[in-house]
Amino acid sequence: MRKIKAIAYGLGNLGRGLIRPALEKGVEFVGAIDINPDLIGRDLGAVAGLQRDLGIAISGDAAQVLAETSADVVLMNLSSGARQIHPQVRDCLRAGINVITSSNDLVYPWTHAPEISALIDTQARKHDVSVVSSGATDALVVNMLSTLAGACHQLKTIEVGARVSLNEVSAKELLSFGVGCAPETVSQMLSGFGEAPLLRTALESVARDLGLTPTRFENIFDPVVAKRDMYVPKHDLHVKAGTAKGLESRVFIETQEGISLSGTVRHELFPKGKHEAGGLAVNLKGQPDISVVLDDLEVRDMARFQIINRIPDVISAAPGLISTEQLCRPKYRARGLGSYLSEISAGKGICEIMH
């Protein structure tokens, strides 16, 4: 079995959380990159919370790591915006390395970021590598909705509602959600927000998979306001009543076929002792009506495990920017990930998009 060699690029909460499960599935880390001065020079194993060093020192010099390291894939966990991460993605592609990213913007970026999407796609094709986005929306939204729709004779609407706890995120991430700020400050911050709402790209990917043609989009962002004072022990943070404790994003998509898709995601802090796990509700209206409610979801764990399970897919995919609906359905990987590469390349029903 060929061992998959990976570079960890971005070692925040999600990036660090990928290291252990990737190692357990036979991935070998050959490089690590982060610009946080508190991490540079430290061993990747120590930063990931392992009980051993991996002999990989975290570097702040991405160009050097990419130039000097032979790898199959970069596990990229940076900003979620396609425009923001394009320079880093471009550098990986120029080095001839596949990229799997947690960027929600790249689930289906062709409509809201067409120029950047075309540029990434061209660069990936030129260097014969692939770029794929994955995470919780991969299995829980894109693939689940498409599968459920396959059991319908008629379809009128698809609705998704999700809640995500912010209690365990970093202080930097809390600031990006406007936590602790006045609602008007958050609204002003969002007025120039260049990223698509979390579920827009996922629902666009669903529409594409179902053969639908979107004709109108509406994106709405609103602060979630705390009704009482709150305390966040992890960051020793006090959130006062009347300030933002999170962010709600809503998206509406109308299609030429008359089927509408809508989604709401509510990211928020929960008071200590309250329910903090994520949840998802899906409703398809048609013939028949289908409803699915999933509670107690460990969304961040699901996101990192989904990314790990996608590693063989991105390595074996055709060159280019591959949106989620173009990939095979997500699969559990019982063996070392390298053992799946020959199966995928042999076309054993795993991916229709091949090199």
Report the CATH number that the domain containing residue 14 is assigned in CATH. 3.40.50.720
Residue 101 lies in a domain: yes
Do 59 and 153 share a domain, yes or no? no
The answer to whether 168 and 176 are in contact (CB under 8 A) is: no
Do 244 and 142 share a domain, yes or no? yes
List for the chain the helix, strand, coil content (%; round to 5): 35, 30, 35
DSSP helix/strand/coil, 226: coil
pLDDT above 50 for 355: no
Do 150 and 233 share a domain, yes or no? yes
Do 131 and 141 share a domain, yes or no? no
Q: Give the pLDDT score at 194.
A: 56
Do 47 and 59 share a domain, yes or no? yes
Tens digits of per-residue pLDDT, 38-54?
999 999 999 999 989 99
Residue 314 lies in a domain: yes
Phi, psi of 114 (to 5 degrees): -65, -40
CB-count burial class (<10 Å; 0-12, 13-18, 19+) for 36: middle
Which region, left, alpha or beta, applies to residue 47 given φ > 0 means left and ψ of -120 to 50 means alpha? alpha
For the residues 331-353, what does the mean pLDDT come to? 73
Residue 351 lies in a domain: no
Q: Give the pLDDT score at 344.
A: 62
DSSP state of 244: E
Do 160 and 309 share a domain, yes or no? no
Radius of gyration of the chain (CA): 20
Residue 350 lies in a domain: no
pLDDT above 60 for 301: yes
Domain encompassing residue 257: 137-297
Do 105 and 165 share a domain, yes or no? no
What CATH number does the domain containing 180 carry?
3.30.360
Confidence of residue 195 (pLDDT cuts 50, 70, 90): low
Q: Give the pLDDT score at 144.
A: 96
Q: Give the pLDDT score at 281.
A: 95
Going through 88-182 in order, the beta strands assigned E by DSSP cover: 98-101, 130-133, 154-165
Residue 17 lies in a domain: yes
CA pair distance 2, 55, nearest whole angstrom: 21
CA pair distance 224, 178, nearest whole angstrom: 9
Q: Give the pLDDT score at 192.
A: 62
Do 305 and 289 share a domain, yes or no? no
Confidence of residue 350 (pLDDT cuts 50, 70, 90): very low
For the residues 202-217, what does the mean pLDDT come to? 96
Residue 248 lies in a domain: yes
Least confident of 99-103, 190-194, 203-207: 190-194
Do 191 and 320 share a domain, yes or no? no
pLDDT above 70 for 349: no
Tens digits of per-residue pLDDT, 2-35?
899 999 999 998 999 999 999 999 999 999 999 9
pLDDT above 80 for 115: yes
Do 229 and 86 share a domain, yes or no? no
Tally of structural domains, the chain: 2
Do 115 and 249 share a domain, yes or no? no
Residue 179 lies in a domain: yes
Do 147 and 269 share a domain, yes or no? yes
Residue 353 lies in a domain: no
Least Cα distance to 42 among 55, 62, 58, 19 occurs for 58
CA pair distance 21, 108, nearest whole angstrom: 26
Distance from first CA to last CA of the chain, Å, rounded? 20
Q: Give the pLDDT score at 269.
A: 87
pTM of the model: 0.90
